[in-house]
Structure 1
Amino acid sequence: MRARRGVYSGAVTLGALRSVEEARARIEHSIAGRTVLTEFRDAVAEFGERPALHWRGADGWHALTWGEYRDQVCRAAYGLKSLGIQRGGFGAILMRNRPEHLIADLALLFARGVPVSLYNTLAPEQIAYIVGHCEAQVAFVEDSGMLARFEAVLDRLPNLRHLVLIEGDSPGTIGWSELLARGDAEAAGDIGWFEAALDEVRPADLATLIYTSGTTGPPKGVMDSHRNVLWMSASGAAGLPEASPDDRHLSYLPLAHAFERYAGHWNAIVRRTQVYFCPDLQKVFEFAVEVHPTAMIGSPRIWEKLQAGIQAAVAADPDPQRRAAVEQALDVGLRVAQFRMRGEEPPETLAAAAERAAPVWGAIRARVGLDQCRLGVTGAAPISPSVVEFFRSLDLPLVEGYGMTESTVGATMNPLGQERLGTVGKPNYGLELKVAGDGELLVRGGNVMLGYYKDPEGTAAAIDADGWLHTGDVATIDLDEYVRIVDRKKELIITSGGKNISPANLENLLKRNRLVGQAAAIGDRRPYVTALMVLDPDAARAWAAANGRAGVSLIDLARDPDVLAEDQRAVDSTNELVSHAEQIRRFHVLPVEWTADSGELTPTLKLKRRVIAERYSSQIEDLYT
């Protein structure tokens, strides 16, 4: 791909430059005067006739080229101008992953406004809080079901003057086609207004507000500027494979979350990546089989469920010889991966075995659509090293990174060929990291947010006078700069005996047993540690079929003595790896599945510990009686 002026391409490897200061100077030079809008302009100029956005309809896949994408953004931006959206005004977006979500986002920016994406699982009260807090003037809403949630709280949103409905029609709303038509009429009277945004919108202007998922209280509005976004892209580029216009990203995580917003929107523009939309999280690997993404992001739960599904399929194979051959290939793959993660080539005999096993690895990856995936990235929550090892055994380079909404998205990444399992890798290019006296990880760099919207006290608590972001995570940094996250400061269990315990560590150890889908360690201000567990539905069904219980419900399996014995083995194996004070004394298997819809998980599948503690308080109390 020919060189272009713009965000740093990543040709210089991590650690190759003399100092953080030099790295920062290079980043600042590469993004000087640039915004998300100028990156979009350049992408359109460079690849106007190539596909940019893809979506699946009833009759198959459809696409917009970069040029068509730009035309839709232009029409929608003029449509917003006709509605009188004020400079710096906020616009809410309540949609699943689809082209109109990104078009509305960019249209708001070109209209000199600020987009605010909402999780499509939000209840009316939560919508009222966020939309009221940012005083949004317009909201883009996907369908009548989502519209109903807005209508339930409209009387509490005096600043919300316009509702744009993407599908269907409803009194008091503007249809998507009507907005575009209004834009066409508006453009005829002010031809240069759209392009003028390229000069009028400055790097320091807001590119978005991203509201945190509110696991510990009301959501905070993280202010990210255009400079933050492009600084993050330049910083993260050094750890990624070289960009190609043939790269394919499968967008399925909520665009209200920083992980997907960055990878599936901003960085897709910077790297000229084609984006394929999957509007249903449950169908992600059904879509992957059709898309063959070249890179794949996912929270640990996504990778855990995929691992459980693959292992269940292997275990269910009625042919013992074929099953044994697959298991042998996975064993070879794991041994090869252990060499490659150290940057070493395997011995000759192992390399020969790997060549024989490669078709098996490829067949398994193809079955879930990851046969062309050059990089998998996991983040947003801790992941068990055994999950990473499993995918490396399939020759799928899955690496763990770390970041947070307040750092735009990223801060560290495990460099390929130098991975250290159990760590989240090294600082991204140009970033500074250090550990405070109380063990808290601090981050400093151009990707650190501007602050929390309308919350100067919260901002001052998060970012100190020297520009260090206080992450709230307890961590260690070794002599080679690898970062190990211990746990969230506020989530550490402190037993009544004064012992500090990481619940995430215990939970990941429990989940090494394929029957354990989710686990929550309990014990804060308690005499000992206990755990709530739920079964993995795929693994439970496979276990039931293999043990003469095919068709038995998840509810009944959660009470099955043999299943409970398996869960006891998970607890026993965990206890062998931790200190006496950390050992799980008692546990309870719940006859449910924890999901974002059921409320125990965030939209990115992290535990909502407060919800779990309240919802299952009686079961927890029983564990201490």
Structure 2
Amino acid sequence: MNADVMRAAPKPVEPVRTVVDGVVRQVEVPPLATVPAGGSLADIPFHNAREAPNTVVLSRKHPDGTWHDVTAAAFAAEVLAVAKGLIAEGLREGDRLALMARTTYEWTLLDFAAWAAGLVTVPVYPTSSALQARWIIQDSGAVACAVEDTAQARLISAERANLPWLAHLWEFDTGALTRLVKAGEHIPDAVVHARRAARTPESVATLIYTSGTTGRPKGCVLTHGNFFAEADNAVELLHPVFRSATTEPASTLLFLPLSHVFGRMVAVGCLRARVRIGHAPSISTDDLLADLAGFRPTFLLAIPYVLEKVYNTARATAERMGRASSFDRAARIARRYGEAAENGRPGIGLRTARALYDPLVYRRIRAALGGHVRYVISGGSPLGRRLAAFYTGAGIDVFEGYGLTETTGASTVTPPQKPRLGTVGWPLPGTAVRIADDGEVLLRGRHVFAGYWNTAQPPTRPDGWLATGDIGELDADGYLTITGRKKDLIITSGGKNVAPAPLEDWLRAHPLVGQCLVVGDNRPYVTALITLEPDGIAHWRAMRRREGVPTRELVRDPDLLAELQRAVDDANRLVSRAESIRRFAVLPGEFTEARGHLTPSLKLRRAAIIRDYAEEIDALYGQR
């Protein structure tokens, strides 16, 4: 896509719906951007440098906490220098380079440098165990691995005996990129440009390994064309986000892992659209708030957990200040405003009430996100109608999306100016969504992956559709709602089918709930295991003077159980009596990735949790 097309005004986009027996079974949206006939993602930095050399495309945080801008010309020069170093170290076209680091400037730099050198990058979650990292490096056949720090270097080094073809291990914190630049000084620029010219949209860009809620992760083969189809159509559709509807240039601070396709796709889209990017490696509350305040982004990409955390922290702060009732009134008004905005312009009374609470509550919410955020792109799991409406009322438009690693990110997204709370929007332009007879969501489009690495398994069904494993439905206007995972459906001993996701998502939004697992397969009724959210329970302890009570005793506290019961009762309003949670257990520990209960993208490993908490589950059914 050339610069003139990228800067064009957004085009109208309307879904084409297929109705069968009065029910919408398929929705398709025509593309707003087509995949280029040639070239690759490696060209982006060099095109930017040629067309807009002085445009700021990134900002880099220095050790003193200040942010320093990086122009398109400067970034392209760095990419070229590091690419020459990779070639000097003997890496050949098509070789795989593993990347294990938090969300940093170096990650993005090495990603583009590897592409410029004709390599295929293989992300490894920075929190991966030695066995997880070894599997990805082994399966991908990576000949080089770049890590962020000494701890990660030691983790990989301990596995070197099992990785005989891993020839290089580089560490960012000890100056690996500087040494690569030095090593490549004798390589002519033309060598890099020749490798870059040999790449096409059909060339493999990256292997991203699925989180693997069951079994070993599989490497999704994503091409440069997949990224072009995804990123270019997202940029064109979300024109107010990437082009900014105000005089302030668009910018975003990336803090989600670049190992995940969501953050990676947005990073590519931002560089493609020349949107300024910053990186925040730490997601601890204090560190992230400081980075947001210093960078001041205009939009963010987030998972629902982050938006829940911001809301719950604001509510807890108000309670400590004795203003909980005022915050709750403001939250109700924000939700009413967001729901009214869905159907048109809110009335004068609602606009007046919202204006009253803006300086008292909503501005503080926006300030926590840096003060300039107008948009949030949310993905990973359903956000929920309540939070989406609240943020809209607080002055932040939320574009909720749905997609898979296999679809290079989003396959559906909320269309601008046409929100539908509680849904994940329409198909991304260039995408078709179909609901199968059993309710499974099927996808088709140019962004769908090329297949799994090292397997003969075809990427799609014989009819050309990608089976997602998710259950969903399309409304009369073509908006998609995800109701659960096909393999997670619970069938009680009475034969009732229960989708656990809506109940779990609703409960997880409560400030005291960290995670929730709904149980009931082959059982007489539905129950739940609940973990406590650390910040939320710390606040609850302080407000009720329970600081000295051990957690194992606290989980039996009548006041705490009564509050959680009210949350469960609230969630049960979503479902029928047969689907409702009858009993629950509060666990003294958390579900964590380290304990094998969560994937790196914070999805529940159901089988592992049910196995490890079999005794607690049996007790909920009187079997202990």
d(CA) in 2 for partners of 1:397 and 1:201? Answer: 38
**2:265 equivalent in structure 1:** 262
User: Aligned residues: percent identity?
Assistant: 33
1:502 matches 2:503:
no
Note if contact 1:10-1:234 (Cα within 8 Å) is conserved in structure 2.
no
1:521 matches 2:508:
no
Note if contact 1:9-1:234 (Cα within 8 Å) is conserved in structure 2.
no
Counterpart mapping for 1:76-95 below 5 A: 76-95=82-101
Counterpart mapping for 1:446-485 below 5 A: 446-457=446-457, 460=458, 462-485=459-482
1:583 matches 2:587:
no
Query: In the superposition, relative to structure 1, how do residues 293 and 62 fare at CA in structure 2: closer, same or farther (>3 Å)?
Result: closer
Note if contact 2:338-2:391 (Cα within 8 Å) is conserved in structure 1.
no
1:250 maps to which of 245, 253, 256: 253
2:229 maps to which of 204, 228, 231: 231
**2:600 equivalent in structure 1:** 603
d(CA) in 2 for partners of 1:471 and 1:22? Answer: 19
Q: Which amino acid is 2:369 matched to?
A: G
d(CA) in 2 for partners of 1:21 and 1:617? Answer: 44
Deviation sequence 1:460-511 (CA, Å, 0-9, x none)? 2x40233211111111112210111111111111222222111111112323
1:137 maps to which of 123, 143, 160: 143
**2:546 equivalent in structure 1:** 549
d(CA) in 2 for partners of 1:558 and 1:39? Answer: 53
d(CA) in 2 for partners of 1:352 and 1:300? Answer: 29
Query: In the superposition, relative to structure 1, how do residues 420 and 334 fare at CA in structure 2: closer, same or farther (>3 Å)?
Result: same
1:359 matches 2:356:
no
Note if contact 2:315-2:327 (Cα within 8 Å) is conserved in structure 1.
no
Q: CA deviation at 1:219?
A: 0.6
d(CA) in 2 for partners of 1:38 and 1:580? Answer: 57
Q: Which has the larger displacement, 65-74 or 134-143?
A: 65-74
**1:281 equivalent in structure 2:** 283
**2:200 equivalent in structure 1:** 202
d(CA) in 1 for partners of 2:425 and 2:55? Answer: 35
Query: In the superposition, relative to structure 1, how do residues 335 and 386 fare at CA in structure 2: closer, same or farther (>3 Å)?
Result: closer
2:58 maps to which of 53, 56, 68: 53
Query: Secondary structure at the residue paired with 1:279?
Result: coil
1:301 matches 2:302:
no
Q: CA deviation at 1:286?
A: 3.2
Q: Which amino acid is 2:210 matched to?
A: T
**2:529 equivalent in structure 1:** 532
Query: Secondary structure at the residue paired with 1:411?
Result: strand
Q: CA deviation at 1:546?
A: 2.4
Note if contact 2:133-2:156 (Cα within 8 Å) is conserved in structure 1.
yes
Query: In the superposition, relative to structure 1, how do residues 127 and 325 fare at CA in structure 2: closer, same or farther (>3 Å)?
Result: closer
d(CA) in 1 for partners of 2:9 and 2:428? Answer: 11
Note if contact 1:10-1:239 (Cα within 8 Å) is conserved in structure 2.
no
**2:211 equivalent in structure 1:** 213
**1:492 equivalent in structure 2:** 489
d(CA) in 2 for partners of 1:302 and 1:285? Answer: 12
Note if contact 1:340-1:417 (Cα within 8 Å) is conserved in structure 2.
no
Query: In the superposition, relative to structure 1, how do residues 69 and 453 fare at CA in structure 2: closer, same or farther (>3 Å)?
Result: same
Note if contact 1:299-1:379 (Cα within 8 Å) is conserved in structure 2.
yes
d(CA) in 2 for partners of 1:551 and 1:384? Answer: 35
Query: Secondary structure at the residue paired with 1:67?
Result: helix
Query: Secondary structure at the residue paired with 1:27?
Result: coil
Return the TM-score normalized by structure 1: 0.91
d(CA) in 2 for partners of 1:108 and 1:577? Answer: 48
Deviation sequence 1:537-561 (CA, Å, 0-9, x none)? 2222222222233465555432322
Q: CA deviation at 1:370?
A: 4.4
Gaps of 5+ in 2: 19-26
Counterpart mapping for 1:36-185 below 5 A: 36-63=41-68, 64-168=70-174, 175-185=176-186
Note if contact 1:408-1:448 (Cα within 8 Å) is conserved in structure 2.
yes
d(CA) in 1 for partners of 2:9 and 2:519? Answer: 43
d(CA) in 2 for partners of 1:180 and 1:364? Answer: 44
d(CA) in 2 for partners of 1:274 and 1:508? Answer: 33
Query: In the superposition, relative to structure 1, how do residues 306 and 551 fare at CA in structure 2: closer, same or farther (>3 Å)?
Result: farther
d(CA) in 2 for partners of 1:349 and 1:496? Answer: 51
**1:172 equivalent in structure 2:** none
d(CA) in 2 for partners of 1:326 and 1:569? Answer: 19
Note if contact 2:507-2:516 (Cα within 8 Å) is conserved in structure 1.
yes
1:336 matches 2:343:
no
**2:316 equivalent in structure 1:** 312
Q: CA deviation at 1:240?
A: 1.0
Q: CA deviation at 1:364?
A: 1.3
Return the TM-score normalized by structure 2: 0.91
Q: Which amino acid is 1:182 matched to?
A: A
Q: CA deviation at 1:151?
A: 1.1
Q: Which amino acid is 1:423 matched to?
A: T
Note if contact 1:492-1:500 (Cα within 8 Å) is conserved in structure 2.
yes
Q: Which amino acid is 1:14 matched to?
A: V
**1:438 equivalent in structure 2:** 438
d(CA) in 2 for partners of 1:509 and 1:73? Answer: 44
Note if contact 2:104-2:279 (Cα within 8 Å) is conserved in structure 1.
yes
Gaps of 5+ in 1: 170-174
Q: Which has the larger displacement, 605-614 or 441-450?
A: 605-614
d(CA) in 2 for partners of 1:17 and 1:31? Answer: 24
d(CA) in 2 for partners of 1:512 and 1:135? Answer: 41
Deviation sequence 1:312-342 (CA, Å, 0-9, x none)? 1112213x5xx55444433333222222122
d(CA) in 2 for partners of 1:10 and 1:556? Answer: 60
d(CA) in 2 for partners of 1:538 and 1:146? Answer: 28
Q: CA deviation at 1:125?
A: 0.9
Q: Which amino acid is 1:295 matched to?
A: F
d(CA) in 2 for partners of 1:522 and 1:353? Answer: 42
Query: Secondary structure at the residue paired with 1:167?
Result: helix
Query: Secondary structure at the residue paired with 1:410?
Result: strand
Note if contact 2:252-2:276 (Cα within 8 Å) is conserved in structure 1.
yes
Q: Which amino acid is 1:257 matched to?
A: H
Q: Which amino acid is 1:568 matched to?
A: Q
Q: CA deviation at 1:596?
A: 3.7
Deviation sequence 1:431-458 (CA, Å, 0-9, x none)? 111111111111111000011111122x
Query: Secondary structure at the residue paired with 2:238?
Result: coil
d(CA) in 2 for partners of 1:443 and 1:138? Answer: 34
Query: In the superposition, relative to structure 1, how do residues 335 and 528 fare at CA in structure 2: closer, same or farther (>3 Å)?
Result: closer
Aligned residues: 606
1:615 maps to which of 605, 612, 617: 612
d(CA) in 2 for partners of 1:580 and 1:18? Answer: 34
**2:11 equivalent in structure 1:** 12
Note if contact 1:312-1:538 (Cα within 8 Å) is conserved in structure 2.
no
Query: In the superposition, relative to structure 1, how do residues 353 and 567 fare at CA in structure 2: closer, same or farther (>3 Å)?
Result: closer
Q: Which amino acid is 2:500 matched to?
A: P
Query: Secondary structure at the residue paired with 1:490?
Result: helix
Query: Secondary structure at the residue paired with 1:281?
Result: coil
Note if contact 1:286-1:368 (Cα within 8 Å) is conserved in structure 2.
no
d(CA) in 2 for partners of 1:10 and 1:118? Answer: 38
